[in-house]
């Protein structure tokens, strides 16, 4: 994709203004966040000349014009967005004749018959759509039918220079992190109740916005900046990520960040998650909504810290070999090559 003198292709990266890339760059320079751009997409510049646009939410008039197909004239040139909601915003306010996008939430909505027609129609006009779980590929293809949109999977990646291996802690501590709609705090708290009854000396820290009352002895925090989150992983004996059934591998970011820190993980076994967590090698996969099995898997790791540390070390190797932002973006660039 590159000439001998550097990238010779051009594309536009369109990002939501609420998470301004320019602001992110400044935070990264201060060591506060991973990657120069969100999701490590600054690595796109190794493959193409990239124009960056922070896209504000559409106003009432822009939405009305889009509804009646009297919006702005589409601009030429290939544009990329991370997810389908940003793509819809772009096509509403700054439409492109050519675009490609990631797909996250729409996959699960399509499986339940709840995918908005307007979103499916928009996605059907994309040249390519990528997903971060192999389990999403066929559902997205079925949703879009036999149109021209190419659907492919890329491995998610994290900044392995920001999340680095840390010595395994001597004191037992469970850490759980995550706020997306498919996290399962009820199962988590039920499992922690069981674990702390057996191992009361264990600390437990949960980052969540759930209003459920935590078990006695569990510390809950609502929000953690990236740098503090990185330090929290370092204190963990095991990182626990229970989710409800879903197709988009909810929890993969936390799983990879923890593995990069050389910590074993216990994660709900949903379609696609086995791509990111290797059963018995980097952690354990447990059935959804089963606090007894979740507790048992965590207790096995707490009872054998030497083995737990070994799983964490294996996890660090897996991240370096398969799940860095550079690997993700290179895979994305290869998948986009026909469109570019």
- pLDDT at 1 (0 to 100): 46
**By the 8 A CB rule, do 215 and 196 touch?**
yes
Handedness of CA 10, 11, 12, 14 (dihedral sign): negative
Structure tokens that stand for 296 in this block: 């048992």
Q: Give the start-end residues of each E strand in the chain.
A: 2-3, 6-7, 10-16, 49-55, 75-81, 96-102, 128-131, 150-153, 173-177, 203-207, 218-221, 238-241, 265-268, 283-286
pLDDT on residue 3: 45
Neighbours of 114 (CB within 10 A): 9
pTM of the model: 0.92
Give the model's pLDDT for residue 114.
Answer: 86
Q: Tell me, what's the pLDDT at 63?
A: 60
Q: Count of CB atoms within 10 A of residue 127's CB?
A: 18
Beta carbons within 10 angstroms of residue 230's beta carbon: 20
Q: Quote the CA–CA distance of 239 and 250 in Å, as a whole number.
A: 14
Reduced to 3 states, what is the DSSP secondary structure of residue 267?
strand
pLDDT by 10-residue block (mean), the chain, 340 residues: 57 91 94 96 92 82 57 82 95 92 93 88 95 94 89 97 98 95 96 98 97 96 95 98 95 98 98 95 98 98 98 98 97 82
Q: Where are the beta strands (DSSP E) in 179-304?
A: 203-207, 218-221, 238-241, 265-268, 283-286
**HSE (side-chain half, CA atoms, 13 Å) at 162:** 26
The predicted pLDDT at position 73 comes to 76
């Amino acid at each position: 994709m590159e000439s001998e003198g550097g990238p010779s292709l051009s594309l536009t990266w369109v990002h939501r203004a609420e998470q301004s890339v320019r602001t992110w760059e400044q935070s990264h320079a201060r060591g506060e966040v991973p990657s120069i751009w969100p999701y490590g997409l600054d690595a796109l510049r190794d493959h193409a000349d990239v124009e960056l646009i922070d896209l504000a939410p559409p106003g009432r008039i822009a939405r009305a014009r889009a509804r009646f197909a009297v919006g702005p004239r589409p601009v030429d040139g290939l544009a990329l967005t991370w997810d389908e909601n940003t793509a819809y915003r772009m096509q509403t306010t700054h439409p492109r004749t050519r675009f490609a996008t990631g797909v996250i939430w729409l996959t699960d909505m399509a499986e339940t018959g709840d995918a908005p027609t307007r979103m499916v129609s928009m996605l059907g006009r994309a040249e390519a759509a990528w997903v971060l779980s192999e389990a999403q590929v066929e559902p997205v293809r079925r949703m879009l039918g036999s149109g021209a949109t190419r659907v492919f999977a890329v491995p998610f990646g994290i900044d392995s220079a920001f999340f680095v291996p840390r010595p395994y802690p001597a004191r037992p501590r469970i850490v759980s992190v995550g706020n997306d709609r498919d996290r399962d705090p009820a199962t988590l708290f039920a499992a922690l109740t069981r674990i702390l009854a057996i191992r009361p000396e264990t600390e437990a820290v949960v980052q969540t916005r759930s209003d459920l009352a935590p078990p006695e002895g569990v510390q809950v925090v609502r929000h953690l900046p990236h740098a503090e989150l990185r330090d929290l992983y370092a204190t963990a004996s095991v990182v626990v990520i229970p989710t409800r059934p879903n197709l988009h591998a909810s929890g993969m970011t936390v799983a990879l960040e923890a593995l990069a820190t050389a910590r074993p993980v216990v994660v709900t076994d949903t379609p696609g998650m086995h791509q990111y967590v290797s059963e018995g090698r980097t952690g354990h996969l447990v059935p959804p909504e089963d606090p007894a099995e979740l507790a048992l898997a965590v207790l096995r790791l707490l009872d054998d810290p030497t083995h737990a540390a070994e799983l964490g070390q294996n996890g660090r190797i897996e991240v370096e070999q398969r799940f860095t932002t550079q690997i993700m973006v290179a895979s994305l660039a290869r998948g986009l090559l026909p469109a570019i």
